[in-house]
């Protein structure tokens, strides 16, 4: 019945739009809007800006802060449907670029919903730019500046720490989605960025993005540390399951108990805590 009603509603709105009747939301009313966010970094920044109470639903990547996990989920990327979003009656959608399908975007715009897209940050400077952009949208530039000042301070603390610890260990990031699906991160990935920030040498060289992990590649890379998402490590059955992956037990990282797990969004999101996670990683590979 809900699906039928939404279909009828879409038809009515389409006819209204074609007749020139159109209602838009003034951006000055953003602070009082019911918002759906799609993208963990956007969700975190909106919350940090002080508008977490306006978020009525999020996507599967929005795991921080923990309060966001109790909200309704609209799904993940191509799984997200316009009907699911519309059933929650939002006023505004804030999403990462290319996160929603073109069909979904078109349907949302037919409903006169404000849909704003933002580039996902790939480095701290882009993080600060996104903070500024969202702070401007919410008309709280002073809070955006405070957040960016905090990021800058975290990065300074990180730089001070690295200046006192010249050693540059090597590491490889492994993306695991079960024992049969393992990939290693190469150049032009978040792993390269966060490793560079943390003063870590990328063990994986000569390729971009993610490629399947093989025993031969582990021997070639010979990383001192293996870094995984907590969820990835869990999908393998923890360290015991990781040991069953061919070539892992023979690696220096595993033999010396130098396998590190991090929350996925914390490590890869490039959000306001980017300097904090980089410092945590930097210390983790140096304090043993």
Domains of the chain: 10-120 (3.40.50.1980), 164-284 (3.40.50.1980)
pLDDT in tens, 211-225: 999 999 998 899 999
The confidence score (pLDDT) of residue 66 equals 96
Torsion of CA 210, 183, 177, 82, to 10 degrees: 10
pLDDT in tens, 5-24: 344 444 433 333 333 333 34
pLDDT in tens, 128-157: 999 999 999 999 999 999 999 999 999 999
- Angle in degrees, 0-180, between the axes of helices 141-163 and 274-284, rounded to the nearest 10: 20
pTM recorded for the entire structure: 0.87
The confidence score (pLDDT) of residue 203 equals 96
The confidence score (pLDDT) of residue 20 equals 34
- Rounded Cα–Cα distance for residues 252 and 96 (Å): 38
- The percent of residues in the chain predicted with pLDDT above 70, rounded, is 89
The confidence score (pLDDT) of residue 8 equals 42
Cα–Cα distances (Å) from 159 to 50, 125, 194, in that order, read: 29, 15, 13
Q: What average pLDDT does this structure show over 86-99? A: 95
pLDDT reading at 105 higher than 70: yes
pLDDT reading at 170 higher than 90: yes
| Nearest residue to 174 (alpha-carbon basis) of 258, 256, 76 | 258
- DSSP state at residue 52: G
The confidence score (pLDDT) of residue 29 equals 58
The confidence score (pLDDT) of residue 109 equals 87
> Where residue 31 falls among pLDDT bands split at 50, 70, 90?
low
Q: What average pLDDT does this structure show over 246-266? A: 95
pLDDT reading at 35 higher than 60: yes
How far out from the chain centre does Cα 77 lie?
A: 12
> Where residue 33 falls among pLDDT bands split at 50, 70, 90?
confident
């Amino acid at each position: 019945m809900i699906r039928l009603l939404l279909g009828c509603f879409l038809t009515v709105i389409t006819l209204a739009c074609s007749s020139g009747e159109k209602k838009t939301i003034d951006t000055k009313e953003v602070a009082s809007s019911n918002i759906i966010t799609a993208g963990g970094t956007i969700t975190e920044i909106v919350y940090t800006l002080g508008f977490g109470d306006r978020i009525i639903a999020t996507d599967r990547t929005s795991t921080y802060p923990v309060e966001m996990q109790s909200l309704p989920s609209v799904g993940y990327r191509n799984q997200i449907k316009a009907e699911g979003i519309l059933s929650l009656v939002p006023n505004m959608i804030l999403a990462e670029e290319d996160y929603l399908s073109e069909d979904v975007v078109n349907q949302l715009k037919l409903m006169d919903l404000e849909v704003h897209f933002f580039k996902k940050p790939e480095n701290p400077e882009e993080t600060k730019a996104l903070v500024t952009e969202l702070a401007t949208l919410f008309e709280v530039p002073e809070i955006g500046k405070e957040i960016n000042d905090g990021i800058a301070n975290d990065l300074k603390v990180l730089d001070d720490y690295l200046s006192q610890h010249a050693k540059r260990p090597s590491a490889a990031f492994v993306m695991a989605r079960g024992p049969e699906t393992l990939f290693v991160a190469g150049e032009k990935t978040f792993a390269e960025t966060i490793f560079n920030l943390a003063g870590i040498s990328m063990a994986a060289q000569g390729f971009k993005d993610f490629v399947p992990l093989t025993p031969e590649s582990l021997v070639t890379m010979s990383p001192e540390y293996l870094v995984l998402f907590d969820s990835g490590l869990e999908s393998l059955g923890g360290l015991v399951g990781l040991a069953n992956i061919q070539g892992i037990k023979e690696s220096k990282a595993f033999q010396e108990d130098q396998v590190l797990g991090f929350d996925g969004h914390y490590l890869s999101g490039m959000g306001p805590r980017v300097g904090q996670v980089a410092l945590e990683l930097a210390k983790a590979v140096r304090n043993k």
